[in-house]
Amino acid sequence: METPLANLGSKHLIKKHEFVRVIIQCLYSLGYGKSAVCLESESGIDYKSDEFGTLESYIRAANWDACIDSVSRLNGLTNETRASALFLVLKQWLLEYLNRGDDSLALEILQKKISGLEVGKDKVHRLAFGFLSLKELGLDKVDTDIYDFRKNLLMELEKVLPPPITLPDRRLEYLVEMAVWSQINNCVFHNSVDAVSLYEDHHCNGSQFPTKTIQILSNHTNEVWYVQFSNNGSYLASSSSDFTAIIWKVLDDGKLSQRHVLRNHQKPVSFVAWSPDDTMLLTCGNIEVLNLWDVETGTCKHTYGNDGFIVSSCAWFPDSKRFVCGSSDPEKGIYMWDSEGNEIQSWKGMRMPKVLDLAITPDGEKLIGIFSDKDIRILNVGTSAERVISEEHPITSLSLSGDGVHMELPRFEAYSDLVWPFNDCELRELEP
């Protein structure tokens, strides 16, 4: 075990052996194989661990019994990881029997060795189906190269087996990216989408950040509760407790001029939402109707809902022809309307909790809702299939990325009768 003095860095936190190993991995991944081999020779440190090197030699020699025994004796593996690794090796063994026409031996591997693994019945069933359809197993081509299959097996095992037996893919790139991301997060004046240089610590000049007031908009006669720029940046909409919303035009010099005052609400206006094509604007408020406005003329096109519909959030579909609206009243649920004033669909009932926020994916296929019971519900609009993600802490809102792949969730944690915000947001990948 290395002492702290043998470690690298001013704080002696980096183990030299691990540091060199991830550099070698990086060289291989970048295509600099000769340099990687040279570094391995000079440092005496191999990119692949002794355990994985032994596995590789057994796999290349098709010594499957020794390979299985080696996996079974690896230290530090969970039962699930060990079963997954054994499944990959046994699957390869089975494929090679099938590839040379030994169907009975392949069936024996499936029945006596694979069926007893705790890897999920679906995987075993798909493998069994492969006996009838070689295409499913990738063996439908006459010129199948079995050595390519063994190479693929090694790549799959590298993904399954944990460190230090193997290294996570592109480990050095990940570590550097995390360091850069940390600097960006700590940059108070960050205001750039350009790639960050590795040659120096990242720091944005405060002069590039908008810190000076260029205009004060005082046209509202009471508190302003919500503001939102249009998607093309040409307009700004503001809503107020004075029962109005205002559409502002962005001028060439960056200042704003009042375009329309929207007067049709009988109570404070708490929310606005621009249509994707910026031709329409939704306005709503607590215990209020929902109004749809024509941006060009400032006229109210349609009114939705009845008095008492407590609106919590609205979200447009990408075609600008439909939108959904959620209520914090469980009995009202979620409604889908079109821009012509027609109700298309609704989701409501005793099982529907309070809706806190809504979003539509860019393809218009999924409706994502944040609910008061700490659930995130992803609804397929076309099929009505629903997936529920349960969170441990309350979620107050969501922000969906432009490509619809990620969503950001501000989290809150309860202490006694108080609710305190976390210092960060959770970024989650939206799975298919």
Which sign does the torsion angle of CA 89, 95, 99, 101 carry?
positive
User: What digits encode the pLDDT tens for the residues 292-303?
Assistant: 999 999 999 998
- Residue 391: CB atoms within 10 A of its CB come to 16
Nearest-angstrom CA–CA distance, 175 and 202: 16
Nearest Cα neighbor of 102 from 139, 154, 145 is 139
Nearest Cα neighbor of 57 from 47, 45, 67, 48 is 67
Nearest-angstrom CA–CA distance, 112 and 110: 6
| pLDDT over 50 (residue 415) | no
| Terminal CA-CA length for the chain | 44
Least confidently predicted of 228-237, 379-388, 421-430: 421-430
Nearest Cα neighbor of 325 from 303, 341, 307, 346 is 346
Nearest-angstrom CA–CA distance, 299 and 264: 10
Highest mean pLDDT among 1-15, 46-60, 316-330, 387-401: 46-60
Alpha carbon 371 to chain centroid distance? 19
Q: What pTM was computed for the model?
A: 0.56
Nearest Cα neighbor of 315 from 370, 265, 275, 371 is 275
Which sign does the torsion angle of CA 143, 146, 147, 151 carry?
positive
| pLDDT over 90 (residue 244) | yes
Q: Do residues 226 and 238 touch, judged by C-beta distance below 8 A?
A: yes
Compute the average pLDDT of residues 256-275.
92
Compute the average pLDDT of residues 49-65.
93
Write the CA distances from 34 to 28, 40, 169, integer angstroms: 9, 10, 20
